[in-house]
Structure formats: C-alpha cells, structure tokens
Structure 1
Amino acid sequence: MKRLFLLLVPALALIAAGMAFWLLWAGPGPATETKTIIVEQGSSLARVADQLEQAEVIRGDARTFRAFARFFGSSDPVQAGEFLIPEGLSADGILNLLQHGRPVQRLVTIPEGMPSVLVRERLMRVPYLTGAVPLPEEGSVLPDSYTYQRGETRSAVLGRMQAAMRAELARLWARRRPGIAVSTPREAIILASIVEKETAKPSERRMVAGVYTNRLKAGMKLDADPTVIYPITRGRPLGRRILQSELRDDNGYNTYARAGLPDGPIANPGRESIAAVLDPAPTRALFFVADGTGGHIFAETYEQHRANVERWYALRRARGEM
C-alpha cells in the first residue's frame, strides 16, 4: 500500500498539472464574444496581462497568465496596436496573437485633389480618433491612405500626412527637369494643385502641366477655372456656373485677372501631379478645352483653340447642357 501511495501521489500531481495546463493555458478561454484589446507602445507583458484579466478573456489572474507565458510561451515582445480576441481563444493563442498576429489595420484615405477644408472634415468624422485638429495649410497634405490606431489623436495622423508630403516633395524636387516654369517647391505645389483640379485623366497630367509651363514662360495668364472657384468655396464644389463678376475679381487667386501663379495652392495635389509639373510633357500647346469624354483637346494657336471650343459648345448644346 505504501508503494502504491508513493506511485499514486506523483500520478495525481501530474494529472492535476495537466488539468491546470489545459484549463488555464491551452484550453478554450472564457470569452463568449470577440473582445478588443489595445496594447500601448512599450507595454510590458505584466501590463498586458492585467488588461487581459480585466477584459475577462483569460482564466485565472494576470499573475498566473504571466507564469504560464514565461514557461510555455515565446520570449518575443508583445506588439503595440489594436487586437481582436476571438470568442473562446486560449491563453496560449492570445499570447501568440499579441506577439505574432496582425493588429487591426484602420485606414483613412485622402483622395488626390481634396482641399484642406475637406481633409479636416474627414479626420473629424473618423470615430476612433481623438481630439480636434486645426485646418491644415492648403497643399501640405499628401493624398494617400494612412493607417491609424484606435484612440490615436487626429493631430498625430495629420502630422504623418504632412510629413509624407514634405518627404515626397523633397524627393520629387531633387529629380526635377531643368528649365521648368517653377523655381521653388512651393511654386511646384501651387501649379500641381491646378493641374490636379483641371484633369481627371492621369494620362493628361503631364500635357496639362506642359501647357501651363508654356503659358507661364510666355507671361500669359493661366485662365484656370478652379482658381476662380477656390476663394469662393475654399475648394468645395461651386454647384453652378462661374459668374462674369467672379472672372473679373482680382483676389490673388483668380488667374483670369492676373498672369502668373495664384497666391497659394487650391487643393492638396497627389504625387503624380507634382511629378508632372516637375517633368512636363514637351509640347508647344498653349490651350486646351474639354472634349466631351472627360478629357481635353489641346491646341498650339488661338484659332485652333477657338475651333475646338466651338465644337465643345456644339456638343453641349446637343446634350441640352446649354
């Protein structure tokens, strides 16, 4: 009996240890629904274990979780970010998810040509960001998709957007073609914002930039409708035809009223429009007008341009637009 007892005690201890291992570490967790855990940058395993205990996704307490993690888990650090803990995930699975899984990726997208007033509105509508954000300087934001973490500040996300623009502008400016019409990075942004608003066809950007390059070098007015609209709406759609009084209004932006570039950008241009301004198409064209397909037809002389305009007007009359 004594020998049997001596054999039974270790066996029972092994069974108990196995049950504890299964219950507290390898077996299904207590969560009955998917829960969110946000791991702050630099968080220790102890801090994360406390979060897991409070969220009720592990069996036992945080100390027990840390002990099992040290003995049976990886020594890799936990990642920062937002994680979704599935229903019933084991403690072992949770640790692996936090160490090697993919955090939730949240994106906010700024389209090419979006003005700063709408950039601010878009950031303010993102529900998982915090704090207010000032109106960005026009032309300071690089259109792109940006990741953000739940609970991050809007000002931090805006800062990354503006840092991306500074970096991309510096990269493109260093590769600019000699003899272009702009002499500073700011002038490049101003002209690129006009190119961005003038054509929706990526294939036309360099050609439109070429026309404006030629006009600037010749001392001609740019005659760009979007520059007339900008001081009226700050980049929002006008929703009507431009008035003759607005075409005559010399407000620093109206390129029908004065030659040269306007006082500032009229939108946040994308990298392709900036690149087009810094490497415009080699052309002698000085004019362009819509062709009815979403693109434009280009002309070298005013006579050619007038003929193209008449064709455009005839097409619009046939469509009942005039």
Structure 2
Amino acid sequence: MTSRTRQLIVIGSVIVLALAIVFVTQIIIVRALDNPDTTTGESVYFTVDQGESVDSIADRLKTDGLIRSPAYFRFRVRIAGLGSDIIAGRYRIDSTMSTTQIIHLITSREAALAQEVQVRFVEGWRTEQYVEALTNAHVIASADDFMTATREQKWNDKFAFLHTRPSGVALEGYLFPDTYNFRLDSSPEDVLTTLLNTFQERVHPETITETDQMGLTLHQVITIASIIEREAVLPEERPIIASVYYNRIEQGMPLQADPTVQFELGRPGNWWPELTPDDIQQNGRYNTYLNPDLPPGPICNPGLASIEAALRPAQTNYLYFVARGDGSHAFAVTAEEHQQNVDKYVKGH
C-alpha cells in the first residue's frame, strides 16, 4: 500500500468520524430540545386560540414550562408544514410530553378529540351557568345550541323520570351538579345525556314513588328542591325551609321566594341579582310573590341534599323565615313573629 493510499484512508476515516460525531451531536441536541422542560408528572391545561400564530403558541408553551425551545417548536411545525393544521381548543398536556408529542396533539384531529377536560357544576347553578363553564372549557361550541337542546321533548321519552316534565320546559333541575370529565368539542346531546344519566343514578328510583305518596309529581318536588337550594346555606336548615314551603302550599299562601324572582330577572354577568321592592312587583311566571302556585319549573339544578329535604321536610308549623345575615335563618309561625324577626335582622331594630 502506497503512502498516498494510506493518506486517503486516513483522511476518509477522519471525515467519516467527523460526520459521525456531527450526526450523533445533532441527535443529542435534537433529543435535548425535544425532551420536556420539566418532568413533574403533572398535567397542565393549555388553550390554543382560534387563529393564533405558531410563534405565539411556541412562546406560551415555553412560558408554561412545557417545551425547552420555542425556536425548535417553530422549526418542527414549519418543516412539517403543520402550521395550518393546528386545532384551536383546550388541551391537557402532561409535563412529560415531548415537543413532538405536543405538536401531534394540537395538529391531530383524532388526538384533539380524545382529550378530556374536567368541569365542575356547583349545586344551585342555573343551566346558563353550566353553559358558561362548558364553553369556557371548550367542551361545547355553541351556547345557543345547548340551550335549545335542553328544551327538546325527546328527553322525556329517553328518561322515565322526565315523564312529568311539561312540554316546552327546559331540563333545569335535572342536570345533576357534580364534577365531570368531558371530551373537547362534545355535542350538546352527549353532555346532556351524561348529566341526565347521573341524575338517574344518584336520585333513587323510589323517589318517584315517594312523590306519588306526597300527592306531587317529581317535577314539582324538584322545583321545590331548587328553591330550597337557592335559599339554604346551612345543611341542617334545608328540611326546615322545605317545611315552610309545604306549609304555605297547604294553606294556599304564595311561596314568596326571592330566588324565583331572581331566576326570572337574571342576566349574563348577574344571574342572581339582588332584589329591590320594585322587582318583586313585576309580573312574571316565576314571581311567587304575585302567583300563588309553584313556578313552571325548577329555577336551578339542586344537589341531592336539597332533593332529599324536599322529599322529607321537617315537621313544623313555620310559615315564615328571614335571613339573619350569618347564613342562618329565623323562622316564625305567625306574621307578627316574622315581623319582629324582620325588624331585628333586616331593619336592625
């Protein structure tokens, strides 16, 4: 072997070694950039806004500690031509996910639809408050479509406990308050089916028998339970408040329940407004100061405790109650006693 040949072999070996070093170095760098910024194992909810730029998404992912390099994120998205494939929505991103996995998540329709978010509905919320929570979490796309779906009569055919729900009355009262996991971009039907199934599971089937024995329909009992839910603060007072309403119904007295008027007057941003003397004089189907009967339907979605209180009220002679200002109420049998309580706790006499 000539010296010239040996030189070429050495040079070739050096070049191959250099290329190998460069290649391995690139792999190490790419893996380092692709790996998550943290590995706490916690999940973070990240929202991609409609029309948001790749640069903005990359910067916010870095700010939230979900990627190491915004530049690498932008490079990967653009080199793959995925900029126009990014899907707006809310994503649950595990802190152990790589940049590649995150890109797949927000650009793959299948992956996006498989995402779930947790939504909590509080006892006493009206359906519009449910809708706000669902839209904020990107569970539903249209608030109007959801509200329309709650008025459809088909639900009465699907769920036996809805048979006494009057035509045209929404599902208010039957959307059981709890914490749920929903898929992003769910249909109103899917969400409502989940809520109604939970009501069916949590409210014992014997409840309908109990309402029959009371001479009431389930719809009427849920309506009373919804008023109790909005009035009661202390758990032990729920059955007592229920007894007041039943006693007033028995004596043909109007319920005079503030929450029913609030329900009718509530608007976005203030679903449960403070009432003025003029408010309770406004005509309306839900004004239980002017109408002696129960309102057309529930005014909110009550929890199980309020439903049980409506089914099993305390045995009292009370006809009146007024808030003490500390969450509790002062109860009275006569109008005179009630006025004394009003003077003491409302007027400050």
Q: Percent identity?
A: 31
Which residue of the partner structure matches residue 91 of structure 1? Answer: none
Is the Cα–Cα contact under 8 Å of residues 141 and 268 in structure 1 kept in the other structure?
A: yes
Q: Provide closer, same or farther for how the CA distance between residues 234 and 268 of structure 1 changes in structure 2, counting only shifts above 3 A.
A: farther
One of 86, 93, 103 as aligned partner of 2:96: 86
Partners of 2:267 and 2:210 in 1: CA distance: 29
Partners of 1:308 and 1:152 in 2: CA distance: 50
Which residue of the partner structure matches residue 14 of structure 2? Answer: none
Q: How many Å apart are 1:86 and its aligned residue?
A: 3.4
CA RMSD of aligned residues (A): 3.1
Matched, 1:263 2:299: no
* Aligned-partner residue type, residue 275 of structure 1: E
Q: How many Å apart are 1:201 and its aligned residue?
A: 1.7
Is the Cα–Cα contact under 8 Å of residues 177 and 279 in structure 1 kept in the other structure?
A: no
TM-score, with length taken from structure 2: 0.57
After superposition, residues 14-93 of structure 1 pair within 5 angstroms as: 32-33=35-36, 84=94, 86=96
Matched, 1:142 2:145: no
Q: How many Å apart are 1:174 and its aligned residue?
A: 4.3
One of 198, 217, 238 as aligned partner of 1:205: 238
* Aligned-partner residue type, residue 248 of structure 1: Q
- Count, aligned residues: 225
Q: Secondary structure at the match of 2:296?
A: coil
Which residue of the partner structure matches residue 122 of structure 1? Answer: 133
Which residue of the partner structure matches residue 159 of structure 1? Answer: 193
Q: Provide closer, same or farther for how the CA distance between residues 122 and 172 of structure 1 changes in structure 2, counting only shifts above 3 A.
A: farther
Which residue of the partner structure matches residue 26 of structure 1? Answer: none
Which residue of the partner structure matches residue 332 of structure 2? Answer: 299
Matched, 1:109 2:142: no
Q: Provide closer, same or farther for how the CA distance between residues 202 and 104 of structure 1 changes in structure 2, counting only shifts above 3 A.
A: farther
Partners of 1:169 and 1:104 in 2: CA distance: 29
* Aligned-partner residue type, residue 196 of structure 2: Q
Which residue of the partner structure matches residue 25 of structure 1? Answer: none
Q: Secondary structure at the match of 2:314?
A: coil
TM-score, with length taken from structure 1: 0.61
* Aligned-partner residue type, residue 301 of structure 1: T
Q: How many Å apart are 1:218 and its aligned residue?
A: 1.1
Partners of 2:125 and 2:274 in 1: CA distance: 19
Q: Which is worse superposed, 140-149 or 150-159?
A: 150-159
Which residue of the partner structure matches residue 53 of structure 1? Answer: none
Which residue of the partner structure matches residue 40 of structure 1? Answer: none
Is the Cα–Cα contact under 8 Å of residues 124 and 154 in structure 1 kept in the other structure?
A: no
* 1:58-94 alpha-carbon deviations (Å, 9 max, x no partner): xxxxxxxxxxxxxxxxxxxxxxxx8959369xxxxxx
Partners of 2:206 and 2:326 in 1: CA distance: 31
Partners of 1:206 and 1:279 in 2: CA distance: 7
* Aligned-partner residue type, residue 110 of structure 1: F
Structure 1 residue runs without a partner (length 5+): 1-29, 37-81, 89-102, 318-322
Q: Secondary structure at the match of 2:298?
A: coil
Q: How many Å apart are 1:234 and its aligned residue?
A: 5.8
Q: Secondary structure at the match of 1:108?
A: strand
Q: Provide closer, same or farther for how the CA distance between residues 247 and 149 of structure 1 changes in structure 2, counting only shifts above 3 A.
A: closer
Partners of 1:259 and 1:151 in 2: CA distance: 43
Partners of 1:183 and 1:177 in 2: CA distance: 5
Which residue of the partner structure matches residue 219 of structure 2? Answer: 186
Partners of 1:232 and 1:131 in 2: CA distance: 26
Q: Provide closer, same or farther for how the CA distance between residues 84 and 303 of structure 1 changes in structure 2, counting only shifts above 3 A.
A: same
Which residue of the partner structure matches residue 222 of structure 1? Answer: 255
Partners of 2:342 and 2:212 in 1: CA distance: 33
Partners of 1:140 and 1:253 in 2: CA distance: 18
Q: How many Å apart are 1:231 and its aligned residue?
A: 1.4
Is the Cα–Cα contact under 8 Å of residues 116 and 184 in structure 2 kept in the other structure?
A: no
Is the Cα–Cα contact under 8 Å of residues 242 and 310 in structure 2 kept in the other structure?
A: yes
Which residue of the partner structure matches residue 57 of structure 1? Answer: none
